[in-house]
Chain A
Amino acid sequence: MLELRNVAKLVGGDYHIHPTSLSLERGTLNVLLGPTLSGKTSLMRLMAGLDRPTEGSVLFDGADVTGVPVQKRKIAMVYQQFINYPAFTVYENIASPMRIAGKDKATIDREVRKAAELLRLTPYLDRTVLNLSGGQQQRTALARALVKNASLVLMDEPLANLDYKLREELRAELPRIFAQSGAIFVYATTEPSEALLLGGNTATLREGRVTQFGPTIEVYRRPADLATAKTFADPPLNALDVVKAGGTFRHGGGGTLPVPPHLLSVADGPVTIAFHPHHLALIPQTPQASLLRARIQIAEITGSESFVHLDFAGARWVMLAPGIHDIDPDTEVDVFLDSRHLMAFGGDGLAIAAKLAA
């Protein structure tokens, strides 16, 4: 188990990483999700021991490893760039960490073939890595990280330099590969959809702060605060500042919205309500759906769905509607909000009674 206890990183008097406590269990996949410069790489460097935290301590299986340099711990890293030994064959690349560790020939051969099989590299073992596609190069780097038998495997946006479709394929394979290893996996990404596809646990980061940590789908469905909800939304989260008075939310546009049952207990006063784009539709999803009138900004069509950008009471929203809706800009349309999924956040950004219909 890897444990961060109030770990913080100060650079020139500013917190690059605010005090953070996290426990990552063996055999789990942990996603660090956040935009560029949110602190994902800095946090990984602290976990790896590449940087020493200014405050707090790092424990591995109960032993204090704060400040123990990376080469003394069993850690593997995979980067966005495909880092391999260019002159080596795939086989030699995968074998390299075991050769350094002085393993015997038979063990090396067995482990290399096992890893190659797992990552579908068997046909390419005799090729030099420069003759491989990007996807195969990154698989080689992954295989090398796996055979190292590291207790902690850190991956910093490993699929970012790959084609969309390749990314999709590797992403689907990764959980299976991780499941077969007992290591702790940490995976940094900027894409919410990637976190969801990988599953496991997710820690959302914003401006050097871990805003929430938990099972991925839980964090997505029940964000603890507005920052987490915004980080974990693609298409972007729709939000609206309202004032709650009894059974209605009054918004800046002058109109009102009915308060759904699960939010009735929220105290009257200003709140921010938020929901995901797929909870907005052109046809009512349930009889309780709220009807709103919004102005179309632009409609984007993907073939099976439409992303409709809307203006509502001065807020910019996105609706993700099934089917093709090529609506002209600047027209007014009726949209329905599935208010069962409405989240509410207080002035401090913390979620209030964000209980969702399952």
Chain B
Amino acid sequence: MEKTWNNKAWFLVLPVLLLVAFSAVIPLMTVVNYSVQDTFGNNEFFWAGTDWFSQILSSPRFWDALGRNLFFSLIILLIEIPLGIFIALNMPKHGIGVPVCLVLMALPLLIPWNVVGTIWQVFGRVDIGLLGHTLEALGIDYNYVRNPTDAWVTVILMDVWHWTSLVVLLCYAGLVSIPDAYYQAAKIDGASRWAVFRYIQLPKMKRVLLIAVLLRFMDSFMIYTEPFVVTGGGPGNSTTFLSIDLVKMAIGQFDLGPAAAMSIIYFLIILLMSWVFYTVMTSSDADA
């Protein structure tokens, strides 16, 4: 919607614009610049054109990592969204329980990524970790350092523990905004618990769910810190996601050109996927 003209308003947003320019636009341009050139250090650059892009796109290493990313995001969404909805549905709506639950839910969100990683790294260790040791004692063979499945389970568990709260809080906000009259009407219409969920709660939560799915997708697709701290991308390459691979390539091997090309591809994938999610979910809204 058009608003009134006020040229002074631009001065107010200027600092933010500058900040965004320095923190996002200029680095992005640098990355684009790197992605089309080759360097052997010493600040000497050679024009490489789209060579890096074709190299990345034809490397199995990239596709494997991408596959891992997609699979990981899929599992995360499949677990966190239903689990988040389920917890939100069962949270109290009145009384002292509300602030208690909200604080409990917010706690994991307050912990920095690398701390979460460290906590779980210790937690899952077979020798001293509570989880690892207990599982070992129960006779379950669990070792995230050796077994790829165990490594995956650990990373997923960690993400679920860290981020389900976000989905819960968003869904809860959606749920409490439903007027009581809807529940009363449903009672009077003799609706079952499932029907109340399917026809009242779910449609009313749709907008916040869209935000939850988008946030969780983008975030899980960009996962870096937790696997980096816990598994370091291993065992083997089993938890080497695109982001970890990228860092290995850029910092570890100092292949700046391919790494830059890869980051651009990575960025475009996230943009594309987010757009697809958004369009799909809002268009179903428009049909309704």
Contacts and interface: CB of A to CB of B under 8 A. Distances in A.
Interface in B1-34: 1-6
A233 interface: no
A67 B4 CA distance: 6
Interface in A31-55: 49-52
Given A11-B1, A69-B4, 13 more contacts: A50-B4, A51-B2, A51-B3, A51-B4, A52-B3, A52-B4, A52-B5, A67-B4, A67-B5, A68-B4, A69-B5, A69-B6, A70-B4
A351 B3 CA distance: 39
Is chain A's interface secondary structure helix, strand, loop, or mixed overall?
loop
Contacts of A11: 1
Interface string A61-89: 00000011110000000000000000000
Max chain A C-beta neighbours (<10 A), residue from B3, B4, B6: B4
B3 to A, nearest CB: 7
B65 to A, nearest CB: 44
A51 B4 CA distance: 6
Contacts of A51: 1-4
In this complex, the interface size class of chain A, counting residues with CB under 8 Å from chain B, is under 10
Contacts of B3: 50-52
Nearest to A68: B4
Interface of B: 1-6
Interface of A: 11, 49-52, 67-70
A154 to B, nearest CB: 15
A41 B4 CA distance: 16
A52 B2 CA distance: 7
Contacts of B6: 69
Nearest to B5: A67
18 contacts: A11-B1, A49-B4, A50-B3, A50-B4, A51-B1, A51-B2, A51-B3, A51-B4, A52-B2, A52-B4, A52-B5, A67-B4, A67-B5, A68-B4, A69-B4, A69-B5, A69-B6, A70-B4
Contacts of B4: 49-52, 67-70
Contacts of B2: 51-52
Contacts of A52: 2-5
Contacts of A70: 4
Query: Which 4 residue pairs spanning A and B have beta carbons closest together?
Result: A69-B4, A69-B6, A67-B5, A52-B4
B12 to A, nearest CB: 14
A96 B2 CA distance: 29
A44 to B, nearest CB: 14
A68 B4 CA distance: 7
A52 B6 CA distance: 11
A70 B2 CA distance: 14
A193 B77 CA distance: 56
A323 to B, nearest CB: 39
Contacts of A50: 3-4
Contacts of B1: 11, 51
A330 B76 CA distance: 66
A49 B3 CA distance: 9
A96 to B, nearest CB: 23
A70 B5 CA distance: 11
A289 B53 CA distance: 90
A119 B94 CA distance: 38
Contacts of A69: 4-6
B10 to A, nearest CB: 14
A115 B43 CA distance: 75
A293 B203 CA distance: 52
A68 to B, nearest CB: 8
Nearest to B4: A69
